Amino acid sequence: MVKRSISEKRISVATPQFAKRKSHRESSKHQAVWSLLDEICDPELPGISIWDLGILVDVVRQDSRWTISIMSTYSGCPAVDSIGQDIAELMMRRGYEDTTVKFVLAPAWSTEMISPEGLDSLREMKIAPPDKDNRVECPVCQGSNTRLLSQFGSTACKALYQCQDCLESFDYFKCF
């Protein structure tokens, strides 16, 4: 069994879809609110913010009224309602009293929208990040000799894999 050293750590690359999101965020006048929303995490993926996961879409202000747009990963994702509540509560606490959370449907969410930092966080949580060719690498020993145990893992966005080298079972964030 060959183990890779830390220096061979995977480097996450920004996708064109993420680059588009990023430039939209950077061109916004409401940097303070975008930064504030970085505090909100997916309750089922603690440690990865809604920005990094790609589901924070937009921050819009009209007079004193704020509209935060988010999207769900999968149409049945139960986390999206609680994320909406978290946003409303946080905004309220920080003095943005008139806030509406809007759920948008288009464009459909894709794992291409995840930020490079988000991919790194997944690795840190020992979740294998999405791969277009479904080359799933063990997040524990980095071995490539892995097999699919179940197409669905602990949540709809993950599949369950096992490493044939270190025998560890792990979640794989489905390429979607």
Partner 1 sequence: MKDEINCTELENLTRFLIALGDDSVIYSHRLSEWCSNGPYLEEDIALTNVALDYTGRARLFYQYAAKLEDNGKTEDDIAYLRTEREFTNLLIHELPINDFAFTMLRQYFMDVFYCLYLQALSGSKDESLSAIATKALKESHYHLKRSEPWIKLLAQGTDESRQRILRAQAELENFTGELFLMETWEVQLVDQGIAVDRSLIQLEWERQVSAFLAESNIQFTQTQLQVSGGRCGIHTEHLGHLLSEMQYLQRTYPGMKW
Residues of the shown chain interacting with partner 1 in the complex, contacts defined by CB under 8 A = 72, 74-78, 105-110, 149-156, 160, 174, 176
Name the β-bridge partners of 60: 67
State the residue for tokens 């994320």. 83
Rounded Cα gap, residues 42 and 55, in angstroms: 10
Closest of 162, 138, 127 to residue 52, by C-alpha: 127
Please spell the DSSP secondary structure of 153-168, one letter per residue. -SSTTEEEEEETTT--
Nearer to partner 1, 50 or 79 (CB): 79
Nearer to partner 1, 33 or 45 (CB): 45
Q: Tell me the closest approach of the beta carbon of residue 83 to partner 1, in angstroms.
A: 15
User: In 50-114, which ranges are E strands?
Assistant: 56-62, 65-70, 99-103
Q: Tell me the closest approach of the beta carbon of residue 133 to partner 1, in angstroms.
A: 14
Nearer to partner 1, 31 or 82 (CB): 82
Q: Tell me the closest approach of the beta carbon of residue 170 to partner 1, in angstroms.
A: 14
Nearer to partner 1, 42 or 142 (CB): 42
Q: Tell me the closest approach of the beta carbon of residue 23 to partner 1, in angstroms.
A: 23
